[in-house]
Structure 1
Amino acid sequence: MKKISLSVDAVQISVEQGATILEAARQAGITIPTLCHLPKKISQESHCEVCVVACEGREGLIKSCATPVEEGMVIITENDAIKAHRQERVAALASIHFGDCKAPCSLTCPGQINVQGYIAHVAKGQYAEGVRLVMEKNPLPFSVGRLCRRFCESRCRRVLLDDPIAINHLKRFVADWCMSNQVDLNIQKQPATGKKIAVVGGGPSGLAGAYYLAKSGHDVTIYEAEKELGGLLRYAVPEFKIPKKVLDYEIATILKLGIEVKCNHRLGQEVSMDELNSQFDAVLLTIGAGVDQPLGLPGSDLPGVRPALDFLRKYNAGGEVKQGKSAAVIGGNNVAMEAARALLRQGYEVSIVNPKKDISGLGANPVAIQEAEKEGARFLFQVDPCEIRQQGSGLELVMNQLELSEPDKKGKQKLQPVPDAFDVLLVDTVVYSQGQIVCQSDETPAADVALSPKNLIKANVKTAMTSMDKVYAAGEAAGGSRPLIQVVSTGRKAAESIHSAVMGLAPAPAESRFNFTRGKSAEDSKVLERFTKQERTPMPTRTPETAVLDNEEVKLGFDEAAAKREADRCLECGCMAFDDCDFKTLCIDNDINLNKTGMGTVPAYSLDQSHPMLDVDLNKCIYCQRCVNACAYEALDLSCVSKDEQGVATGISLSFNDNCVHCGNCADFCSTGTITKKDVLSPILNEETRKVRTTCPYCGAGCQMQLKVKGDTIMEATSESHLAPNYGALCVKGRFAFNFAQDKARLTTPLVRRDGKLVEATWDEAYDVIAERLTKVKKEHGSDSIAGFSCARATNEENFLMQKFMRTVIGTNNIDHCARL
């Protein structure tokens, strides 16, 4: 065929006559974006119009996907006019795209966990996979599952129907299930790098940092000042919140990655910064904020006045002896709530004293506040402690009464002291928690590492770098008191920075915050019409009257039935095509700002679930028509009522006619997630997956497949257009019927009958039984008494071996295959 020469972005190209400009560019490795085009599909009708280019000698812009090459063409794929056109076109298409990229729960999670994903695994009974997914961002699911602030639940769209999903309880369930069933999660490490990293501090941020550094292939050593790892999770959180056996199991899971541990090594005493810098390629400081800020009141040094962390350490060690009957807790943070609940378990009458207006002003987790109140703690608000005095064998806590000021110009009121108005609380013990710091002002935890005025380690927010070369800091030591999931997240992010630095890599780019969202429009009936109200599954909990009598765990956890029932309530808000959405990628590449250019705000269509294999959500459709181009059978009927002056379609209609063979090509090529497969388990949010090439097991045709695999779970089955003999085509079984591979009922080991019962056996034992039985039948009844059949799932190679075995070993021609091809 005749060759045509042309220039694309100053690159000389020779292609066959009849090729399009787009095909010529791709042949030269030059990318021209497109939403509607597929190879060998040329259409003159205007669809996405983002593939436009400029051609010298021609006015305006031309569509590269529909314009054949001509001799001597000089093509430009990028200039100001082209960029402006693409931005305008993509923004216009975005204006009708209504859907969520990420589910609101995942967006809100400080740990960036794929919440929708692990809930889907719970619903399918894939609990180990659920834990592995959580641990991609949070290696402490046991602790976080018990202590999390639950930011995700605050944005759960289920609240528009009834109550939010019990997301955190499900995280705890999958972790506890794996512990109860002694599941080996088989967390994989990258090949060894030869780099050595020291982590100073074995609390939650240190454990998280060590976990991700070890996963990256580094040799990691944790230096811990105390006798055991865990930090404040062990020494400040009572067992009624996290039992020690649970914490021990969680830590052991992390250490399985080969992390070395050196306890009783306090920085500045048993080990110095100079030693660490000389022996390691990097040092991560996660020493925590384990010192209570001073109370700073007259009388705060009296006997019976104690910092909360000091009290909790002794309580958790079992060494606390009750002194008196009443106690006051000064403070409103999480540590204060744990101290109050511990005091209640020792028989104290507890009053929590705080200058805030009401409970909403406290800094503690609202759940922790509710638990303390239910168990009997009394809250005193609008009082400001100002002095502690000795009164006999007890104490007097003097508190200034507070009142709301007159509203200012903005209508706001402030609490202010009431002149000469004081309350006196008689107690035997005062425990205070005003916040935590790394050290007292006259101490230096790490020589040459700069501290902030609040006695926290100065560290770059993005890189975690401190003032000292090769030294990083994370957790509460660098950021102060914060919710546990944020503490864990800082350890992970610091590990990522360290990995980039020691390996000489450019820092990983931050994940794009670009996101389509349905906002609160989900209240529209078209979004919620397929869901029914379901009561939130309550967490089995000991009664407060019983719980305060001992130190046993209060919340008992979901059983399997409750977990599945709760997971089934998920609305699956996030897009199942998140990881391969071409439209989202195009929006990001063209700097589309949805806050300025707009996006769909209300649903115009109901979800169509009439197809046995596919779901269709036309609210996401931008009418690019790539689904039609992808169909080899003309099985899709796609139309619209009209288009506006920008070419944006309205009144879109899509249906499948009788030509549909359920091959799923339309879903694979859909550019927006409008057409999705019913069997896709969950969205993949920037997570690592393995692509496994294999042969379809359903017949002997030998079709090549590409499986998308996470952990031990097949997420999706696709095929590549260059793989013979099917060249991208798959039948309905190949594309959709892969779930048998991970069905719990599937046999993965041979069974043999012994004493009338089927029991598991090795493959060699099974082969021996088969050989023995066939030999016996052949001897007694002759070769022709035996016939061989292979199932439809057998490959050509397996069929060949079966017939060869029957003819040469058994000696019979009685063979057949139930799907003769």
Structure 2
Amino acid sequence: MANLIIDGMKIEAAEGQNILQAAQRAGIYIPALCYHPDLPSFKDSTPSPQIYQGSVKLEATSAEAYQGCQLCLVEIEGEGLKTACTTPVKDGMVIQTSTPEIQERRREKLAAILLDHPHECLLCPQREGCDLKRCSMNVPEEERCCAKFNVCELRKVTEYIGGKLKLSRYKPGNLAIVEDEPLFIRNYNLCIGCTRCVRICKEVLGVGALGYLLDSGKVLTGMLAPSAEDSYCRLCGACVEVCPTGALLDKDIKWAERETALVPCRNACPAGIDVPRYVNLIAKGKFAEAVATIREKVPFPAVLGRVCFHPCEDVCRRGAVNEPISIKELKRFAAEHDTIPQGNGHVKSIPPTGKKVAIIGSGPAGLTAAYYLSELGHQITIFEALPELGGMLRVGIPQYRLPREILDKEIQRIINQVGIDAKINSRVDSLDEILAEGHQAVFVAIGAHKGTKLGIEGEDSPGIIDGVALMRDVNLGREVRLGEKVAVIGGGNVAIDSARTALRLGAKEVTMLYRRSRTEMPASPEEIEEAINEGIKIDYLMTPSKISRRNGILDMECRRMALGEKEADGRKRSTVIEGSEFLAEFDTVIVAIGQVPEIPKGFDLPAGPGGKLPIDPKTLETSRRGVFFGGDVVSGPASVIEAIAMGKKAAESIDRYLGGSGAIEQPAVETKRVDMCLGREEGFAKRPRVNTPTLAADERKYNFGEVVISYGEETATHEAGRCLRCDLRLDITPPALPPERWLEFNAANIETVPKSEGVFQLFDEDKNIIYIGGNMNLYEGLKEQLDSGAEARYFIYEEERMYTQRESELLQEFAQTHGGMPPLNMGPDLDDLF
């Protein structure tokens, strides 16, 4: 260790550190734009012979290497001025980070950096709150700063260094602005040549898509080929993350949303599964770790790998390049390659709490809540009215999508691993009875098992059944006869499942009727496509209006529909075309237009519109204390992953209700710093999505064998390797930024001000300057303003022996910009300053 003194503070620094690193670890700020804590020094980076800025090829005019921004100058006793980022620490060093000479040299270096960068906004005294669109000084738009202005590192460093910069007006370089590449915008007019992007791409990521060169002494950066694709860019966005200016910007991400928008797949998952983490583990062949990562958030990886509606894929940023990652199928692959034996691994380690919880219903919400609450030490009993566990997983999803052996294995793993008591054929009609048995809390997750009626004449005729009842009977092994000609009313997943099931039950002709177009169908697009491949006919823009039975045949009167304006859900309103009626004959009509819950009257709880129960959306607790509802019984028919998310929320709330913390998740995989190396890969951007194979339509449509065939290892790792690794950006250490420039204008902050010469500025609520004053005693001058009741909200100050000259400079700058004095400076004592 080396002992040194920085600005009077004694600190210890590890051997091998430079002064900048030692200062930052001690909380001492030194400005720097080329330095970044995750990057090698600029000294280790060599220039390229040529680069491209858009289609413009540039060649080096000198072999000289970049010399750094040199803003990090410090004064070392006995050695003079040195750059902190290149000077190793030595025992006994005495260092000053801010002297008049250092400040002046930094201003010179900063002026050189800003010379070729738009800087009018950076130096404007009224820059706070400016929208960069309306400018009172009529600065041309190409000379203004960019959308990153309010969070710009260059701006913050410029403000920190402060003082009068010797700068001429910016002259636009008219360099390339590349906007036709996916995901990112590169504006070379805003590049300051710090080479951070080059170093993270080449030295950290191992990609090397970017380079830099010197042209007449100026540092220029660019791609190594005319396009990102030809440069073998991995499109991870790490270069955007380390850029201190707006030279590199995301196309689709606002700064305020970046924490969620940078990794949209994880944010879109209702259960919060760490998608990029497990996808990356699959790419590396670490399949057991991948499925353990999934199990941290959900207890059903194999189920979800088959039936999840994968909202993560809809927002996958790879989709903006060509096609999204096949996230759902990778989840399925990971679950099928779980090497941890059933009942082992992530087991309950918390001692019993002695608290009893009843779970009514064993669907995805109920089983999830039971799993997590049992892991927390609570005694769980599941009450299931059906003869088998699983709820809608068991009776609502056909076996060709979710094989029974897969469902059985996952349910048994949950029951056995955490020791849950499950009672089948146990319908609960009274909450009073359950609570009287000693249960301190009840979670009702009974689903929505009742089909919605059409509301037309004749719908109660024999031969008309609802899709939910059909799926339940088939999945429980009951005999179902439909005849040869079947109609299915509806356009959701239950309607698609009913139609495809009808084929497998022997129907020769299955027709679906949907009142809107295919675009508006709520069913999964891939399920629609598979239904069509199996020969199911879908009549769009059609609805039944009346049904009658004649000689064992159902006559269904249908009407054609037209689409109008969009409704609240985004789908277009459908209206009947008058005079378009026609008759169609069917043996069976299956109605699958929606589902509602059936809450037993003995629960004695008021139901809301549509049979839904009013609950606290944050806790899922009902008006009856200790009774919680969740899943489809609350939301209406939803997805499995949404039901799981509700089950987790219920578990958190119930644990808190029982006196716990509500922290239900336990890490199953040790969290390690992400390996940042991606490597260079030719043709990465063009790699197509690997779609999963399916059984041929003629081979599958007459039986309930699983349709989709799993990935093999080679295919899975290849598909996982297409991931852009957007999550890398969240693992990049933020650069050290200057301390907050503005101090709140109060007595406590003024007490910290030195009693030395200098200039201070007062600001209003919007951080507009309202007073500029020089004083031989900064503390006394500010205290006088406070005592006089000055209507200021913030202040800043700078120590300056020539304070009257500095005060005059600042006032003249303000007057030139605004045509007058700050409001509190208006008075008779200004003439001496000019």
TM-score by structure 1 length?
A: 0.57
Aligned to 1:556: 709
| CA-CA distance at 1:426 after TM superposition | 0.5
Note closer, same or farther for the CA distance 1:403–1:188 as it changes in structure 2 (3 Å cut).
Answer: same
Aligned to 1:51: none
> SS of 1:165's equivalent?
coil
Does residue 1:400 correspond to 2:559, yes or no? yes
Paired residues for 1:757-796 under 5 Å: none
| CA-CA distance at 1:22 after TM superposition | 8.7
Out of 506, 513, 518, the residue aligned to residue 359 of structure 1 is: 518
CA distance in 2: counterparts of 1:192 and 1:180, whole angstroms: 25
Aligned to 1:78: none
Does residue 1:220 correspond to 2:206, yes or no? no
| CA-CA distance at 1:40 after TM superposition | 5.3
Aligned to 1:374: 533
Aligned to 1:252: 412
Contact 1:497/1:507, CA 8 A, preserved across alignment: no
| CA-CA distance at 1:374 after TM superposition | 1.4
Note closer, same or farther for the CA distance 1:324–1:503 as it changes in structure 2 (3 Å cut).
Answer: same
Indicate the percent of aligned positions where both proteins have the same amino acid: 32
> SS of 1:118's equivalent?
helix
| CA-CA distance at 1:103 after TM superposition | 2.0
Does residue 1:495 correspond to 2:651, yes or no? yes
Does residue 1:534 correspond to 2:687, yes or no? yes
TM-score by structure 2 length?
A: 0.56
| CA-CA distance at 1:157 after TM superposition | 2.2
Contact 1:127/1:178, CA 8 A, preserved across alignment: yes
Contact 1:206/1:491, CA 8 A, preserved across alignment: yes
Aligned to 1:164: 324
Does residue 1:437 correspond to 2:596, yes or no? yes
Contact 1:140/1:250, CA 8 A, preserved across alignment: yes
CA distance in 2: counterparts of 1:477 and 1:471, whole angstroms: 14
Aligned to 1:697: none
Out of 672, 697, 721, the residue aligned to residue 544 of structure 1 is: 697
Aligned to 1:417: 576
> SS of 1:38's equivalent?
helix
Note closer, same or farther for the CA distance 1:507–1:550 as it changes in structure 2 (3 Å cut).
Answer: closer
Out of 393, 400, 413, the residue aligned to residue 233 of structure 1 is: 393
Does residue 1:202 correspond to 2:380, yes or no? no
Q: Deviations over 1:609-659 (max 9, x none)?
A: xxxxxxxxxxxxxxxxxxxxxxxxxxxxxxxxxxxx9xxxxxxxxxxxxxx
Note closer, same or farther for the CA distance 1:390–1:38 as it changes in structure 2 (3 Å cut).
Answer: same
Q: Deviations over 1:397-454 (max 9, x none)?
A: 111222345999xx99753222222021110000101211112xxx635523232111
Amino acid at match of 1:118: Y
Aligned to 1:459: 615
> SS of 1:454's equivalent?
helix
Q: Deviations over 1:83-118 (max 9, x none)?
A: 99x997879568658576542221222221110001
Q: Deviations over 1:562-591 (max 9, x none)?
A: 21121111111112654976889x99xx9x
CA distance in 2: counterparts of 1:366 and 1:169, whole angstroms: 15
CA distance in 2: counterparts of 1:540 and 1:242, whole angstroms: 16
Contact 1:108/1:155, CA 8 A, preserved across alignment: yes
Does residue 1:147 correspond to 2:307, yes or no? yes
Note closer, same or farther for the CA distance 1:574–1:305 as it changes in structure 2 (3 Å cut).
Answer: same
RMSD: 4.2
Contact 2:152/2:245, CA 8 A, preserved across alignment: no
CA distance in 2: counterparts of 1:373 and 1:300, whole angstroms: 27
Note closer, same or farther for the CA distance 1:336–1:40 as it changes in structure 2 (3 Å cut).
Answer: closer
Aligned to 2:214: none
- Unaligned 5+ runs, structure 2: 12-19, 35-94, 99-127, 130-148, 157-243, 251-257, 666-678, 744-765, 768-812, 814-834
Does residue 1:300 correspond to 2:459, yes or no? yes
Does residue 1:468 correspond to 2:624, yes or no? yes
Note closer, same or farther for the CA distance 1:191–1:324 as it changes in structure 2 (3 Å cut).
Answer: same
Amino acid at match of 2:421: E
> SS of 2:589's equivalent?
strand
Q: Deviations over 1:21-77 (max 9, x none)?
A: 9989xxxxxxxxx999534585665789xxxxxxxxxxxxxxxx9889xxxxxxxxx
CA distance in 2: counterparts of 1:219 and 1:407, whole angstroms: 49
Aligned to 1:385: 544
CA distance in 2: counterparts of 1:338 and 1:36, whole angstroms: 64
Contact 1:289/1:437, CA 8 A, preserved across alignment: yes
Amino acid at match of 2:585: L
CA distance in 1: counterparts of 2:362 and 2:353, whole angstroms: 23
Contact 1:198/1:220, CA 8 A, preserved across alignment: yes
Contact 2:4/2:10, CA 8 A, preserved across alignment: no
CA distance in 1: counterparts of 2:534 and 2:151, whole angstroms: 60
Paired residues for 1:546-695 under 5 Å: 546-575=699-728, 577-578=730-731
CA distance in 1: counterparts of 2:456 and 2:680, whole angstroms: 57
Note closer, same or farther for the CA distance 1:181–1:541 as it changes in structure 2 (3 Å cut).
Answer: farther
CA distance in 2: counterparts of 1:87 and 1:321, whole angstroms: 66
Aligned to 1:105: 265
> SS of 2:580's equivalent?
strand
Paired residues for 1:119-198 under 5 Å: 119-178=279-338, 184-198=344-358
CA distance in 2: counterparts of 1:579 and 1:45, whole angstroms: 19
Out of 485, 494, 499, the residue aligned to residue 641 of structure 2 is: 485
Note closer, same or farther for the CA distance 1:40–1:117 as it changes in structure 2 (3 Å cut).
Answer: closer
Note closer, same or farther for the CA distance 1:545–1:219 as it changes in structure 2 (3 Å cut).
Answer: same
Amino acid at match of 2:723: C
Of 526-535 and 424-433, more deviation after overlay is shown by 526-535
Contact 2:520/2:571, CA 8 A, preserved across alignment: no
CA distance in 2: counterparts of 1:179 and 1:425, whole angstroms: 54
- Unaligned 5+ runs, structure 1: 1-15, 25-33, 49-64, 69-82, 510-525, 591-595, 598-644, 646-821
Aligned to 2:501: 342
> SS of 2:382's equivalent?
strand
Q: How many residues align?
A: 515
> SS of 2:358's equivalent?
strand
| CA-CA distance at 1:206 after TM superposition | 0.6
CA distance in 1: counterparts of 2:590 and 2:704, whole angstroms: 19
CA distance in 2: counterparts of 1:186 and 1:214, whole angstroms: 12
Does residue 1:38 correspond to 2:8, yes or no? no
Contact 1:122/1:564, CA 8 A, preserved across alignment: yes
Q: Deviations over 1:343-362 (max 9, x none)?
A: 01122111111111x11111
> SS of 2:624's equivalent?
coil
Aligned to 1:428: 587
Note closer, same or farther for the CA distance 1:405–1:554 as it changes in structure 2 (3 Å cut).
Answer: closer
| CA-CA distance at 1:337 after TM superposition | 1.0
Q: Deviations over 1:273-310 (max 9, x none)?
A: 44336612221111111111223221111110001111
Aligned to 2:174: none
| CA-CA distance at 1:500 after TM superposition | 2.0
Aligned to 2:428: 267
| CA-CA distance at 1:137 after TM superposition | 1.6
| CA-CA distance at 1:531 after TM superposition | 2.5
Amino acid at match of 2:658: V
